[in-house]
Chains A and B, each alone.
Chain A
Amino acid sequence: MYPDNLKYNVEHTWLRLEAPTKGRVGITVYAQERLKEVVFVELPDVGAETVQMQPFGVIESVKATNDLYSPVSGTVMEVNERLKDDPGLVNRDPYGEGWMVMIEFGNAEELDALISAEAYRLAVGG
């Protein structure tokens, strides 16, 4: 459910480091299950700045509209364009094809504020 090689925040986003200060971001299985069918993902443009624990986008599902909270402060390097035509990727493959943005961040210390898979699992009640 929650891969060990990812870092999480309590707002249900994960970060997969692909370099010491660069990582891919998406939402967890728990979040997509709660949202049900995702119908739209509003993502920032490449080059936009993100702030840790501040919204970087919006996810809209058949059930709700929610903000997407950035795990780190940095610059958006890449955006998953495929979500435009196929937002259901978030439901089908939340840790893979359903990724949202790639962020390059300056302050690696911010990673300390993120939690482990185990801590996230406990936070969402198992």
Chain B
Amino acid sequence: MEERDVLVIGAGPAGYAAAIRAAQLGGKVTIVEKEALGGTCLNHGCIPTRVFARAAELLETGSRGKDYGIAFRDQTIEFSKLIARKDIVVKTLVAGVRMLLGENGVEAVEGRAAFNSPRELSITAPDGVRKIILARNTVIAPGARCRALSISGGDMMLDTTAILQLKEIPRSMVILGAGCIGMSLASVFSRLGAAVTVLEESNSMLNGIDGEVVSQYQKEAKKNKIAYFPECRIQAVEHDSNDGMRVLASLKGEELTVNAQCVVNAEEREPNIEGLGLADLGIRLNEKKGIAVDKAMRTNIAGVFAAGDVTMEHMWTHAAYMEGVVAAENAMGKESHADYSAMPYWTCTLPSVAGVGLTEEKAVEMGYDVKSSRFSFAGNGMAVVLGQRTGMVKLITERKYGRVLGVHIVGAQAAELIAEAAMAVKSELAAEDIGAVLHPHPSLSEAFWEAARGIDGNAIHLLPDK
């Protein structure tokens, strides 16, 4: 019987990070994946979405070329070529994961894994051949998938995987859920030419994100022509002879009908936990029906860890990487804990939104004496150069020491800019520390520097309060 230090189930971001980390620490590692390496992120999530967003950005750049004396005359989208590009990007990154695993000495096996006992797993290859592996430790990282809504016609809705595999751009689409994923898809597809309607059950778009940033985003997004209905509960999806589909919903008690070529569920997800033998193993689940873990990514069974979306907690790839690494380190006998205090979020909307740490609302709720500062991209030299002056950087600190609690950005390149803010939040830097760091000029990053200086009223490119 083959023995391993660590067996990893699932080769998405959590799984492959765990496998690589365990191998770095000298472990003998096998990773088992039943589909493509790279998981949701690479194959059906962030990466393909971001490729589409890139296309939308290029369209936008093309239409703004005239401001700089450059005419892009033929601005048509050949969707089949965009799909081909997306497939190349995905293939490249999947190949990269395969290479990384191989070069680190990780054995990658195609197949399905199931627990026979906490230490013994059977791996079934696609051809049905089964082998048994003894694993000192296992990291369960099979991810999650979209869950069909249990309403009439719920199965006719596309999930976020299917929407990224369309063969042509739909004329019209309805998206359920105005969270980061829903709004990113809405923004991208509307820029690519679809008439998009977003239906949201709660009363707020981008729920959980700093309120001031969301309202500035909404103001800027008005011209994106996305129809948005908050407090809207979907009741059924039906076929419609005209456009394809019809969504029946209730909007604050009134009936609402929206016709569209396709309907996308960007909201509900469920963990991929079937067939792993978890019930027999006695693995405990959490309230969200994901695998319950502690800060070391340990499940209730000794030697069995879980990481990534299967926990249903922090459904971001960057969280999955950290969780995979933490699980691997603990499996290899080190002490390591997951820390979500500086968890960035991002959207690929127009303008984009990103943030890290506490929102102002949350900081106040937690009892901090909050002092916040804003710097508008209108006052940033690089933003003027780029012709992208809308948006701002908002910095939230506690008053006494000026420690940065959260940073939220709406505007160009928000997701790139937030990395520096994540370091500030994670390192518990004070606004003053950031203000003392030289930021290259001209760059959008200066807006973060100015917002930090603004905490003490020392921003340079800001009109003084009168």
Contact = CB atoms under 8 A, between A and B. Distances in A.
Interface stretch (A16-24, A25-33, A62-70, A111-119): A62-70
Contacts of B389: 60, 64-65
B73 interface: no
Contacts of B223: 54-55, 67
B6 to A, nearest CB: 53
B376 interface: yes
Contacts of A64: 376, 378, 389
B379 A65 contact: no
A60 B223 CA distance: 17
Contacts of A60: 389
B390 A65 contact: yes
B227 to A, nearest CB: 14
A67 B378 CA distance: 13
Interface residues of A, number: 8
B442 to A, nearest CB: 16
Nearest to A36: B463
Nearest to B388: A65
Contacts of A54: 223
Interface string A65-95: 1010000000000000000000000000000
Nearest to A60: B389
Interface in B72-93: none
Interface string B384-405: 0000011000000000000000
Interface string A34-71: 00100000000000000000110000100111010000
A80 B463 CA distance: 30
Contacts of A65: 378, 389-390
Interface string B358-382: 0000000000000000001011000
B192 to A, nearest CB: 21
B218 to A, nearest CB: 14
Contacts of A67: 223
A60 B378 CA distance: 9
Nearest to B67: A42
| Residue among B223, B378, B379 facing the most chain A CB atoms (10 A cut-off) | B378
A55 B390 CA distance: 15
B463 A63 contact: yes
A54 B390 CA distance: 17
B447 to A, nearest CB: 14
Contacts of B376: 64
A65 B386 CA distance: 12
Contacts of B463: 36, 63
A122 to B, nearest CB: 22
Nearest to B462: A63
B379 A63 contact: yes
Contacts of B378: 63-65
A55 B220 CA distance: 12
A83 B379 CA distance: 23
Contacts of A55: 223
A19 to B, nearest CB: 30
A63 B390 CA distance: 11
A31 B115 CA distance: 68
A11 to B, nearest CB: 11
A75 B289 CA distance: 57
Contacts of A63: 378-379, 463
Nearest to A39: B384
Nearest to B379: A63
A67 B390 CA distance: 11
Given A64-B378, A67-B223, 8 more contacts: A36-B463, A54-B223, A55-B223, A60-B389, A63-B463, A64-B389, A65-B378, A65-B389
14 contacts: A36-B463, A54-B223, A55-B223, A60-B389, A63-B378, A63-B379, A63-B463, A64-B376, A64-B378, A64-B389, A65-B378, A65-B389, A65-B390, A67-B223
Interface of B: 223, 376, 378-379, 389-390, 463
Which 4 A-B residue pairs are closest in the complex by CB-CB distance?
A64-B378, A65-B389, A63-B378, A55-B223
